[in-house]
Amino acid sequence: MRAVVQRTTEASVTVEGNIVGEIKRGLVVFLGIEEGDNESDLNYICDKVVGLRVFDDEKEIPNLSVTDINGSVLLVSQFTLCADARKGKRPSYIKAARPETANPLYEKAIAIIGESVPVQPGVFQAMMQVRLVNDGPHTILLDSRRTF
């Protein structure tokens, strides 16, 4: 499971011209679910998202989590994070989990993260437009199976 986490001052996701999720200060999380991902991968990613210390404390040191600042999370399912672009120029998405596997894990991610902070989700399998102000910029890549 992969996640791209971006610190934001505001963000929204729109589907067919309608805003379906919107937050102020917090995190935008793009979540890619791969074949073979399970509850362990999900728990790892969700724990990291709510615990990442990427917000500044009173000394302007990134030492606070989204929970500490009473922020929110905009969670967007994004199968393209599972792309393999090592061969050729066209990415392969063969490692992305099938919808019948990915959607329940995505729904569980919403619930797990929602136990700690308010969550606004995107719409699974929809064409979405995501707008965000990347604060910093501050972007973190998480992978439940790899260390970088």
Residue 12 contacts residue 21 (beta carbons within 8 Å): yes
Taking a C-beta distance cutoff of 8 angstroms, is the pair 93, 79 a contact?
A: yes
> How many Å apart are CA 45 and CA 28, to the nearest integer?
13
For the chain, the C-alpha Rg in angstroms (whole number) is: 15
- For the chain, the distance separating the N- and C-terminal CA atoms, rounded to the nearest angstrom, is 14
Active site residue ranges = 78-80
